[in-house]
Structure 1
């Protein structure tokens, strides 16, 4: 469970009072120091959780300011208390009862398709927010970085995203990569992102895929993944517009449970996610 949160406006005196208790030995054994002085995640501001004492900033970093409550709750949780989401829970979060409900003429139940329940490991979320801030400063937007550096589809302008054909018609309009900053799921679950130059229509009333868009993705997933990974070991979802981290480039997520890694290397062309390549 997340701990209490101390906001970005924590007085400097709070940090100073902690500093006064430190010795050189403490900085090399932060866990023992915190124990000895009864300092816990409940009494530390969220922006110091999961940070080695020698790297504590004097104030809340700019990239952690004005975060939504969900992020603050996550950042306030020590990594050792975080529980990764297993395959059963992943399926529960993603799988909706739309098909059954459609047969009965009823709307889908509110508890299904709750992809907002995904969250990152707390320290990974911190790295993600810091790296995203760096990307925006250097490239002007995450979209430009993704298009130019990750997808290789041009210089990062929307003009570079004109598809050759319709949805899933040409392979050159599609690219499969690792999710650079995956959710905090079990490590035997591979989290991929399918990027497309073409749009997948959303229903403006719900923000979710239209029936045609859903059918197109289902067919693609069946063709591309089910031939090599058992159907019950594959799930996919498309974020609601409000949850997308990259709005200008169409994409959806695919998760594979214990796949043949040779297949993963094949379809991603030996991609390596940023989380394994960068240090922030």
Structure 2
């Protein structure tokens, strides 16, 4: 079923075919699209600044489509992770694991790939959600798996070089965050999220599927 078909048929009618729906997701789905208010840029700034990432959610029809795809990937690929590795990242796995060219985060361009988020949160229409995937682990600190100060700076430098400078975007139109380990839907491959308000779509499209400009890696030797 396509995302458009999900939206046309509605969410409550389609819940029966899904397995293991969380209480939170069920409440969102049963509320329906008509009651959903997209996140504004001000909302996102507040969420990211306070690191309250659990507040983020998808529009009900988008959430349903995500859960349906997740279930299908489990049946056809053995999980979301194998699907992403094979069909989206096109990375070679060794015994189910991704081996980085350089174990240091941002140490090698070939270990990074920028993609659109196939299942973005419920954002206003002028906001684009991309994900930066990394073969190398991004250092974090227990118990929640939040970023270390060093890895936070590395990501920020990369975001400035790749999205602010390369796309000629104002800093106030860019937000980034990395979900704590407990909140990640795909945990085995490290990644962080970038939100862009009114980006130049032609320039952004040219970045998709790449690791970003060379300058982003010169900052992180």
TM-score, normalised by the number of residues in structure 2: 0.84
Q: In structure 2, what is the equivalent of residue 139 of structure 1?
A: 77
* Change beyond 3 A, Cα 1:91–1:169: same
Residues 178-219 of structure 1, C-alpha deviations (whole Å, 9 max, x = no match): 001000010110000000011111111332011111111111
5 Å-filtered alignment, 1:33-112, equals: 52=9, 56=13, 60-61=16-17, 63=18, 65-95=19-49, 112=50
> What residue number does 2:102 align with?
164
Quote the residue 1:188 is aligned against.
Answer: 126
| Aligned match of 1:37 | none
The higher radius of gyration belongs to 1
1:253 aligns with 2:193: yes
Deviations 1:135-192 (A, max 9, x none): 0111112111111110011157544332335221322110000001000010110000
Report 1:121-270 matches (<5 A).
Answer: 121-155=59-93, 157-164=95-102, 166-227=104-165, 228=167, 229-269=169-209
1:120 corresponds to: 58
Q: Which runs of 5+ in 2 are unaligned?
A: 1-5, 211-221
Q: Distance in 2 between matches of 1:223 and 1:50?
A: 37
Report if aligned partners of 1:147, 1:156 keep a CA contact under 8 Å in 2: no
Instruction: Give the root-mean-square deviation of aligned CA atoms.
Output: 2.2
* CA separation of 1:181 and 1:157: change in aligned 2, threshold 3 A: farther
1:172 and 1:141 mapped to 2: Cα distance? 24
Q: Distance in 2 between matches of 1:126 and 1:202?
A: 31
How many positions carry a matched residue from both structures? 202
Per the alignment, residue 30 of structure 1 pairs with none
Q: How far apart are residue 66 of structure 1 and its match?
A: 3.2
User: What TM-score do you get using the length of structure 1 for normalisation?
Assistant: 0.67
Partners of 1:156 and 1:260 in 2: CA distance:
37
